[in-house]
Structure 1
Amino acid sequence: MKQASRHALQRIAALALSVCVLFGLTACNDDETPPDLDTDGVIVITNARANVPTPQLSPITETLIGEALKAKLPVVVISADGTPAPVDLAIPGVDGCNNRSACAKRLSEALGYVAMAITAKPDADGANAYGAFAVARDAAQSLRLTSPTLICLECGIDTLGALSMTGEGRLAADAEAHLEYLTSTGQLVTFDGFDSVHIILTSMGLTSAPQDPLSPSDITRLAGVWSDVLTAGGATVTVDPNPVGGEPIDTEYTVEPVVVPPPPTPPTPSPTSVCTPVELSFDGASDARFQPETDSWVDIDAAREALRPTADWLKQAPTRTARILGTTADILSGDPDEGIELSTRRAQAAAALLVELGVPQSQIVDVAGLGPNYPGKVADRDADGEPIPALRTKNRKVIVEIAENC
């Protein structure tokens, strides 16, 4: 078995186990004891619309919903089209059965209703899954749920609402930029008033023509954005690694395709001598990017590969050196040292990765944080002072300044 496949299976097995433990699913074994679920209702957000495959439940989400139905818990479906609203189809519970065969039949029928609800045609143009989370939250409150579970099928490329990806560069913007925008504009969906809210994102970032497909890096970035903004709202988020979907539904309502930027090309040193220092910039749209407000890489393997050409160039001659500088976007705190500490830690993380790749510590001549005040900073706020996610991403970076002693 290939290594990547083995790791993928390990992640799937780990998620299956964690969901079984989290929700107490008896379907994970042969025990017929009624489940003691750590939820009192399930709300499914469905993206049955143009430009994506027909939504389907994954094995994990189907098991969870089946256990909820057997426990006679409410199951509601929200359509995430341009005007998010509950799907007008009641999901029956599983009751009135007195033997295993009859119960299995009732469960199959109930899951059939769920399948119909999640493939219900949209009522409006566009996609607004993030707005659907507010509708789902309100539905949970009206049902007096205290620990709801929200499942989003094919969340990802919204074209309307607060998390729309139609603006230039928004699809490539990092999670930190989107979270700043939602928070500063008062559009962050919050889940106050519940004991707990569990969210499962399944089939994240799936597309169908005419929407261009997303690269694995795009999907990873998108999953990070959704996970971080929903976590910031007070939920616990799990990304289901089992993408499923069928042919797109036939609908008269359209969804604007989002332009998918080409994959960023990691800056690579010239194969010839560099007698004048040259800056190699790794911003928040690159594979060498950090989790919000931390010096932890989003994907350390991707960051390692992004920095590898620079490490290889430095290792070719001991006369080659690197200065590593970190920057941040501003938060307008008024503190003259704003961002210095975080940008320093991020520069140190990049330096450590270069050393791990074999660069002698002696060739790294400086490691420093510049915060938001550095030459070449991009204006990243609009006329009203609101943050522009795509440009904020450009201001959060690590600069590797390379040179050779000629």
Structure 2
Amino acid sequence: MTPAARPAARRAAGLLSVVLTGVLVAGCSSGDDAAGGFSGGGVSALSCPVPVGPMAFAVSGRSNSPEPGLPGAVQDATVSVLSRAVDEGYEPRITLINVDGRPTSAGNDTFRTDAGNAIAAEDDRNAFLDGFGQAVTELRAETPEVDVLSALDLAGRSAGGNRPGTVVLVDSGLSTVAPLDFRQRGLLDAPPEQTVEALRAENALPGLQGTTVILAGLGDVAEPQPALSPAQRQSLVALWTAVATAGGASCVAVVDEPRGGDAPSDAPPVSVVDVPPPPTITPGQATALPDDNSVGFRPDTAEFRDRNAARAVLAPFAQFLTESPTRRIALTGTSARAGTTEGQVDLSTRRAEAVKALLVELGAPADRITTRGVGSRFPGYVNDVGPDGRQLPGPASANRTVIVEPSE
């Protein structure tokens, strides 16, 4: 680096001093796994173009989620933005958002360089990114629980400006703060469009107008949070993609690169989200097939969301029947309390019949499977209508099942 370029490099590294003042825990770097070493500038792994503009990173250094860090695709996108910014003479603002129970801005800085040549400019960029990468790895939650929805909104506001910006979320996505609290039974399985409509009705969608949104780490958890099944992770990704789109994002990219490792040991507690186990068949024991991406149905239809996934779930149920001529299965469809009672019974009956048809397709004898639909009138019904008369997505999803009762 030339002597003339050194002051610019010091200014470029200024984010570290800004972000580490007061709000971050010093000396908590994750060592060799830290994100301080940014990689090259290719962004082929992303499905969205990343504009040269302000960037806001909502990152969790919290309990129940792996230690903070940026996946390679996110690092590449950041390098690309800063490199192109130099070519365009633009000075992008970079903001770091702390994802916890009450998200806040952990700091921000503007990347500037007055380097006289490309090599010196690259040195300035790398110095800036080293400081930012260290700030990311040392980020720690301050408030118990986690409010991912508010973090996205704050990031959207931080990425606003005269140019289109980019919002990056790096978190498991298992929010535990209302109005998107995944501890609420059934919310993880609810169709994304219904959850989005409920958030819109509460004016709770994040403000992401015109931004590119990058979602990373969704569904990746750390103990004591139980791991999600592939179908549950798929539901989570679909929901946050729908939320970002409804919030006005111009493009939403999902990074599939998994995040692993332990949660930070020095972060406040976050409640564990109950993760229902996959349905299994046991003689004499009723099992409810959940309204999820493995064996659930498309809204207001008797059409499986994923027929192949449903086949995989129901194969052991069909095998149960074929193993003995005395075995039987009773299927009872249930529904949310929406529309008329007759409509609820009709839909729940058709869903029970759809499960029977798939079992028969898998080799089960049709004459040993009975079906009926009871709508929302069944033991265990969870109130799914709010005081304002609107349907509650979580409880409504919990009420949409087909109950399997096997007998010998």
Q: TM-score, normalised by structure 2?
A: 0.69
Distance in structure 2 (CA, Å) of the matches to 1:290 and 1:102 = 57
Amino acid at match of 1:201: L
Does structure 2 conserve the Cα–Cα contact (< 8 Å) formed by 1:22 and 1:38? Answer: no
Distance in structure 1 (CA, Å) of the matches to 2:280 and 2:313 = 6
Work out which of the residue numbers 22, 29, 38 in structure 1 matches 2:48. Answer: 22
Does structure 2 conserve the Cα–Cα contact (< 8 Å) formed by 1:45 and 1:152? Answer: yes
- Say whether residues 1:179 and 2:195 are aligned partners: yes
Work out which of the residue numbers 230, 241, 257 in structure 2 matches 1:242. Answer: 257
Work out which of the residue numbers 171, 174, 177 in structure 2 matches 1:154. Answer: 171
Give the corresponding residue for 1:328. Answer: 335
Distance in structure 2 (CA, Å) of the matches to 1:91 and 1:291 = 46
Where does the alignment leave 5 or more consecutive residues of structure 2 unmatched? Answer: 1-42, 86-91
Distance in structure 2 (CA, Å) of the matches to 1:329 and 1:391 = 8
Amino acid at match of 1:202: A
Work out which of the residue numbers 118, 124, 134 in structure 2 matches 1:116. Answer: 134
Structure 1 residues 336 and 249: CA distance shift in structure 2, 3 A: closer
- Say whether residues 1:165 and 2:191 are aligned partners: no
Distance in structure 1 (CA, Å) of the matches to 2:228 and 2:163 = 37
Give the corresponding residue for 1:107. Answer: 125
Does structure 1 conserve the Cα–Cα contact (< 8 Å) formed by 2:198 and 2:392? Answer: no
In structure 1, the residue corresponding to 2:109 is in which secondary structure? Answer: coil
Give the corresponding residue for 1:313. Answer: 320
What is the CA distance between 1:51 and its match in structure 2? 3.6
In structure 2, the residue corresponding to 1:115 is in which secondary structure? Answer: helix
Distance in structure 2 (CA, Å) of the matches to 1:310 and 1:173 = 21
Distance in structure 1 (CA, Å) of the matches to 2:283 and 2:308 = 20
Work out which of the residue numbers 343, 352, 359 in structure 2 matches 1:354. Answer: 359
Work out which of the residue numbers 203, 208, 215 in structure 2 matches 1:201. Answer: 215
What is the CA distance between 1:378 and its match in structure 2? 0.5
Give the corresponding residue for 2:400. Answer: 396
Distance in structure 1 (CA, Å) of the matches to 2:204 and 2:337 = 20
Does structure 2 conserve the Cα–Cα contact (< 8 Å) formed by 1:87 and 1:117? Answer: no
What is the CA distance between 1:179 and its match in structure 2? 0.7
Q: How many pairs align?
A: 356
Distance in structure 2 (CA, Å) of the matches to 1:377 and 1:177 = 25
Amino acid at match of 1:309: P
In structure 2, the residue corresponding to 1:75 is in which secondary structure? Answer: strand
Distance in structure 2 (CA, Å) of the matches to 1:300 and 1:94 = 55
Amino acid at match of 2:166: T
Does structure 1 conserve the Cα–Cα contact (< 8 Å) formed by 2:315 and 2:362? Answer: yes
Structure 1 residues 240 and 395: CA distance shift in structure 2, 3 A: same
RMSD: 4.0
Amino acid at match of 1:244: R
Does structure 2 conserve the Cα–Cα contact (< 8 Å) formed by 1:45 and 1:136? Answer: yes
Distance in structure 2 (CA, Å) of the matches to 1:320 and 1:170 = 31
What is the CA distance between 1:308 and its match in structure 2? 1.4
Structure 1 residues 281 and 258: CA distance shift in structure 2, 3 A: closer
CA distances 1:17-58 after superposition (whole Å, capped 9, x unpaired):
562x631xxxxxxxxxxxxx4574432211123343222111
Give the corresponding residue for 1:132. Answer: 151
Does structure 2 conserve the Cα–Cα contact (< 8 Å) formed by 1:181 and 1:389? Answer: no
Does structure 1 conserve the Cα–Cα contact (< 8 Å) formed by 2:228 and 2:275? Answer: no
What is the CA distance between 1:240 and its match in structure 2? 1.8
Give the corresponding residue for 1:67. Answer: 80
Amino acid at match of 2:83: K
Deviates further, 239-248 or 42-51: 239-248
- Say whether residues 1:44 and 2:57 are aligned partners: yes
Distance in structure 1 (CA, Å) of the matches to 2:403 and 2:79 = 51
Does structure 2 conserve the Cα–Cα contact (< 8 Å) formed by 1:206 and 1:213? Answer: no
Q: TM-score, normalised by structure 1?
A: 0.70
Deviates further, 53-62 or 348-357: 348-357
Does structure 1 conserve the Cα–Cα contact (< 8 Å) formed by 2:150 and 2:206? Answer: no
What is the CA distance between 1:186 and its match in structure 2? 0.4
